[in-house]
Chain A
Amino acid sequence: MNQARAKVPLVLLLFLVVELTVLDRLHVFGAGPDVMLLLAVVAGIVGGPRVGALFGFAAGILLDLFLETPMGLSALVFCLVGYAVGNIQGGVLRAAWWIPVVTTLVASVAGVALYALVATVVGQPHLVTPHLFVVAAVVGIFNALLAPFALRLVRWSISDATGERAYA
């Protein structure tokens, strides 16, 4: 359990470093992948709604530190996405390899849309534009491509905890 607790922050930090240093080089049509959102989605797929919501919240707060949008905005959106994905995916026991990929695609697109929506509600009125469709599509496709790697990392990070998760 202690080991698992050390591995989760490690994976969170790894994703943060990748998000902040590598991904600004991968922009297509003015948009790039969002691996913090990917982390929330994948945690939901691997660990169910509880793990999804917790990972989403942590990933969102970490990302918010480096954005100019209100603090907590990504945390709110990502924890909702992680929870929703966990709830939907929870029923599938042994999925075919492509199911998580498609789930990631759909959930990422939904996550971007939800982010723009919530941002508008809290007073950031510049996000809902035609460009939003491009961003959602690019994020969805990139995240889907990265999903298999993220799945392995997240599964590894919570591997010890899964045994003790039995009652959770």
Chain B
Amino acid sequence: MAVYRRSTRHRFLLVLLVLTSITVITVDVRGGGGGAMESIRRGARDAFAPVQSTADDVINPVSDFFGGLFRYGHLKSENARLRRQLNDARGKVNASVNTDRERQELLALQKLTFAGDTPAVAARVVATSPSNFQLTVEIDRGLPAGIQKGMPVVTGAGLVGKVVAVSQERATVLLLTDPAFNVGIRLSGSGDVGVARGNGTRQPLPVDLVDVGTKVSGGEVVVTSGLQGSVFPPDIPVGKVRSSKVQPGSLQHEVSIDPLVDLTRLDFVKVLIWQPKSETP
């Protein structure tokens, strides 16, 4: 009898906790991630920011030490390889000064230097995602810097992702490789548009909705399309075409692209203070 009563008590507690969780989930999902839940999250993240900074200060030297210890051989060979590359690069620089100047002029002519006149906030990546299921990074700027939800995040090389949460001290950036990420793109060669979506860490991004008739070449640069209502401004470089093929009988070109930015080694990024002109659903 006692055993029976004990297990019903346990079960009552479990049911209570499960119902509480489900209520919280419902409130959050119904509220669209805004409202009370968002302010609670903001508060928690701001409160945690100094703890995180302190912990990083303590851990970084230690992890660097062990990293150096275990990868000594690797670092040595990498050093040699980098020296070789540097020599190669020096030669190439001399050869390419002229072409680079030409390219700059052409870019200036066509106004292709992406987002040149959009104000931007530089920020440092302070942490990656604590979850195995979301590809995000935390940056050390927040609301006071003018960052809002939905703003595009870039590096000099191209698109990184977009802001999905902001608090006073921190902002969370969803990387473009996250499976929940979609971006409207334009193929630089043909000008045809499509939609690229994330497919996980270090995976190429599949592109949907490219016409069968479109000519796609490998290595072609893909930029954001910035069509009306798009969540990104036009002409931010996104990636390079990795492969393209048409299955017999298929209605669309199967294109996949590699991101231009190395998303596993982000350090400094820029948040473009840019919001879509019209409201997007």
Which residues of A come within 8 Å of B, CB atoms?
A: 17, 19-25, 27, 30-32, 34, 48-50, 53-54, 56-57, 60-61, 63, 65-73, 75-76, 79-80, 83, 86-87, 112, 115-116, 119, 122-124, 126-127, 129, 131, 135, 138-139, 168
Contact = CB atoms under 8 A, between A and B. Distances in A.
Given A53-B13, A67-B131, A17 B21 contact: no
A21 B55 contact: yes
Chain B interface size range: 35 or more
Interface string B56-91: 100100010000000000000000000000000000
Contacts of A122: 25, 29
B145 interface: no
A129 B25 contact: no
Q: Name the prevailing secondary structure of the B interface residues.
A: helix
Interface in B1-36: 6, 9-10, 13-14, 17-18, 20-25, 27-29, 33
Contacts, number: 134
Interface centre among A60, A68, A122 (most CB of B within 10 A): A68
B63 A25 contact: yes
Nearest to B199: A129
Interface stretch (B41-49, B104-112, B229-237, B248-256): B41-49
Interface stretch (B122-130, B150-158, B205-213, B216-224): B122-130
B175 to A, nearest CB: 12
Interface centre among B63, B165, B178, B180 (most CB of A within 10 A): B180
A32 B132 contact: yes
Given A17-B51, A23-B130, A30 B179 contact: no
A80 B48 CA distance: 27
29 contacts: A17-B51, A19-B130, A20-B130, A21-B51, A21-B59, A24-B130, A27-B128, A34-B132, A50-B13, A53-B13, A53-B14, A54-B17, A56-B17, A57-B20, A61-B24, A65-B40, A66-B130, A68-B165, A68-B174, A70-B29, A70-B33, A71-B25, A76-B22, A86-B10, A116-B133, A129-B200, A135-B133, A139-B132, A168-B9
B113 interface: no
A56 to B, nearest CB: 8
Nearest to B43: A65
A60 B130 CA distance: 12
A66 B134 contact: no
Q: Name the prevailing secondary structure of the A interface residues.
A: helix
B261 interface: no
B52 interface: yes
Nearest to A21: B55
Nearest to B178: A126
Nearest to B136: A68
B41 A71 contact: yes
A60 B24 CA distance: 12
B134 to A, nearest CB: 6
